[in-house]
């Protein structure tokens, strides 16, 4: 295929859906329940709802929306630390747009900005470095977050700051790693997933080999998937084919982008600048060992956590918020008690409602709800 419309061909999609239905019906009859497939990546969740894929599927297959949205899993305490840096009189805080709206215990970065903090949206960490060059009297902090997808650009920016001798730039590092996260989800007591659609963008960096343990030790098939409708449907069909054959392998549907061994240059930059943290706290999932990274001792001068005195207090999630259950696939977003009521994209209570890649925001935006029913807040409408 060469053109985008070829990945959206309705005839090909219809053929795939028929095959998916045949396999899923067979497997569900054997199990006595629907086949559960988790898409790990928030980008897949967004595509699934944007193109109405979930509504095309038979009741015999259930898509579980995983923890692959980095903005959504940021814990309240880390947001509070970021706000504390932003409110420092000599600081300029820079970050991506979605991160500005993640609620902390008192306020978000966007609310801090409205109260006078110098918070700026950027499209890349290099934009933050440019601001540092033009404001040598200020400490410019980049609020770095994301899985291995965004780690290389952050790492390369730190290397560039070192090479240029820019000392008023630092990183508040909240980058996280995908493999320990999937393992933590697999080890969850209430977890029941038969196979995975693997993350395409992360795999572009780390390759396909790191997922081998899922097939070898947990006996679950993984198919690295692209983001177009036919990518997702074909990947789901590939998972079901493996389950039907009793296989558990790592397959790469997104081979046009994802190499088996990843991106050597990106991995080298990550290895130079970052090291694993002993543990990292996740919103809705708790503490996960070696699931986050921090700057190595060599780059301590660029570590905002060393430059600023931070509260670093663990804050409990609101009791009414059920983001953790949604992240693990225990419930669907519309089953949460506050979904579409106290929690909307305009007034997010839970982090899954903040980012467009969050499961709750995707359900809300595209009218998701129980199959056969229409969301009471269809696209373009908002709760009162």
* DSSP string covering 104-171: -SS--HHHHHHTT--EEE-SSHHHHHHHHHH-TTSEEEEEEEESTTTHHHHHHHHHHHHHHT--SEEE
Query: Is 339 within a domain?
Result: yes
pLDDT digits (tens, 9 = 90+) for 4-33: 888 889 999 999 999 999 999 999 999 999
Helix (H, G, I), strand (E, B) or coil at 67: strand
CA 294 vs CA 80, 91, 160: distances in Å:
18, 21, 18
Residue 65 phi/psi, 5-degree rounding, is -95, 110
Decide: 1 and 7 in contact? Cβ < 8 Å: yes
Q: Which domain holds residue 340?
A: 323-366
Please report, for the domain that includes residue 98, its CATH number: 3.40.50.11740
Residue 154 lies inside a defined structural domain of this protein: yes
What pLDDT score was predicted for residue 373?
A: 41
- State how many domains the chain has: 2
The model's pTM is: 0.86
Position with higher pLDDT, 220 vs 185: 220
In a domain, 351, yes or no: yes
pLDDT digits (tens, 9 = 90+) for 224-268: 999 999 999 999 999 999 999 999 999 999 999 999 999 999 999
- Please tell me the distance from the alpha carbon of residue 13 to that of residue 52, in angstroms, as a whole number: 12
The whole-number pLDDT of residue 377 equals: 44
Question: Within this chain, do residues 123 and 171 fall inside the same structural domain, yes or no?
Answer: yes
In-domain check, residue 328: yes
Label residue 316 by pLDDT band (50, 70, 90). low
- Is residue 258 situated within a structural domain? no
- Give the model's pLDDT for residue 380: 40
The answer to whether position 256 is within a domain reads no
Rounded to an integer, the average pLDDT of 308-316 is 74
Q: Considering only CA atoms, give the Rg of the chain.
A: 21
302 and 338 inside one domain: no
Distance CA 199, CA 178 (A): 9
Considering the domain boundaries, does residue 98 fall inside one?
Answer: yes
Count Cα atoms within 13 angstroms, Cβ side, for 49. 25
State whether residue 276 is helix, strand or coil.
strand
**Does one domain contain both 97 and 162?**
yes
- Residue 172 domain-assigned (yes or no): yes
């Amino acid at each position: 295929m060469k053109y985008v419309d070829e990945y959206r061909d309705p005839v090909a999609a219809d053929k795939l859906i028929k095959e998916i239905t045949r396999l899923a019906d067979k497997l569900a009859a054997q199990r006595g329940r629907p086949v559960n497939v988790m898409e790990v990546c928030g980008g897949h969740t967004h595509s699934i709802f944007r193109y109405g894929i979930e509504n095309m599927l038979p009741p015999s297959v259930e898509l579980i929306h995983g923890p692959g949205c980095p903005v959504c899993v940021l814990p309240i305490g880390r947001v509070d630390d970021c706000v504390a840096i932003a409110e420092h009189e000599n600081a300029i805080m820079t970050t991506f747009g979605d991160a500005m709206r993640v609620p902390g215990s008192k306020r978000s970065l966007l609310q801090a900005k409205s109260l006078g903090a110098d918070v700026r949206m950027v499209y890349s960490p290099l934009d933050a470095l440019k601001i540092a060059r033009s404001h040598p009297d200020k400490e410019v902090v980049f609020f770095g977050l994301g899985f291995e997808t965004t780690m290389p650009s952050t790492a390369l920016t730190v290397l560039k700051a070192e090479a240029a001798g820019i000392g008023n730039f630092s990183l508040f590092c909240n980058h996280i790693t995908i493999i320990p996260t999937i393992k933590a989800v697999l080890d969850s007591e209430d977890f029941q997933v038969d196979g995975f659609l693997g993350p395409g963008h992360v795999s572009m960096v780390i390759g396909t080999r790191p997922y081998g343990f899922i097939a070898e030790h947990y006996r679950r098939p993984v198919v690295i998937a692209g983001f177009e409708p036919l990518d997702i449907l074909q990947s789901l069909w590939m998972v079901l084919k493996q389950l039907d054959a009793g296989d558990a392998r790592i397959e790469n549907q997104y081979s046009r982008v994802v190499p088996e061994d990843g991106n050597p240059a990106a991995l080298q930059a990550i290895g130079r600048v970052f090291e694993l943290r002993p543990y990292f706290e996740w919103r809705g999932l708790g503490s996960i060992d070696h699931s986050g990274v921090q700057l190595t001792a060599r780059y301590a001068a660029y570590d905002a956590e060393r430059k600023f005195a931070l509260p670093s207090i663990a804050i409990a999630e609101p009791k009414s918020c059920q983001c953790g259950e949604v992240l693990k696939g225990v419930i669907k977003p519309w089953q949460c008690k506050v979904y579409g009521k106290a929690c909307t994209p305009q007034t997010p209570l839970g982090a899954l409602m903040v980012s467009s890649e969050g499961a709750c925001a995707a359900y809300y935006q595209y009218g998701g709800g129980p199959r056969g029913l229409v969301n009471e807040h269809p696209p373009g409408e908002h709760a009162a």
